[in-house]
Amino acid sequence: MSTLLQINSSLFSDEGQSSRLSNDFVARWREQNPEGQVIVRDLAAEPIPHLTAERLQAGLTAPEERTAEQQALAAEGDELIEELKQADVIALGLPMYNFSVPSTLKAWFDHVARAGTTFRYTEQGPVGLLENKTLYVFAARGGKYLGTSMDTQTDLVKHFFGLLGVTDVKFIHAEGLAMGDEIQQQALQAARDRIDSLAA
């Protein structure tokens, strides 16, 4: 049975354009995988606390060696990592806020990037431990940044998930959403057409 992890990072939850595109893809995935499991992580509905030194140390401490306080601090990161480990497919709804990823998503990044658990260091550099997963990124943007130096998201997402071992990454962009109704509708339709082609 396949498992899909859906991560929506829009401040507007299901009302955000990136979430809507992500939801469209998940609906198509459900049709093709009726026995599959979907885990939904809405970072607006369930904000993740920013990483602190204490949370970091708790996560890096072996579970059997954690104090009661460390167990409590590491619990959230442990849950996020377990969701990620279970997933065969990841659907990420990604808006652009102030030329970067939402801070809630960055917090998620910080919790799941755990040395010795999701990646390990070697003499040749870090090696990801979460392989054989496919990531679909539904990137919704008010302006048009793809292919320019202002697109700070694409490489960040690729590099981050690559650190974890997720190298099969597919982007579906909807740009210019704040540049008038006609441009918005064209961009959203193009993204939906891309979703249809991926589902097919």
Q: What is the SS3 string spanning the chain?
A: CCEEEEEECCCCHHHCHHHHHHHHHHHHHHHHCCCCEEEEEECCCCCCCCCCHHHHHHHHCCHHHCCHHHHHHHHHHHHHHHHHHHCCEEEEEEECECCECCHHHHHHHHHHCCECCCEEEECCEEEECCCCCEEEEEEECCCCCCCCCCCCHHHHHHHHHHHHCCCEEEEEEECCCCCCHHHHHHHHHHHHHHHHHHHC
User: Mean of the per-residue pLDDT values for the chain?
Assistant: 96
pLDDT in tens, 50-75: 999 999 999 999 999 999 999 999 99
* Binding site listing for FMN: 10, 96-99
Which residues are registered as beta bridge partners of 176?
Answer: none
Question: What does pTM read for this prediction?
Answer: 0.95
pLDDT in tens, 125-154: 999 999 999 999 999 999 999 999 999 999
* Binding site listing: 10, 96-99
Domain 3-199: what homologous superfamily?
Flavodoxin domain (3.40.50.360)
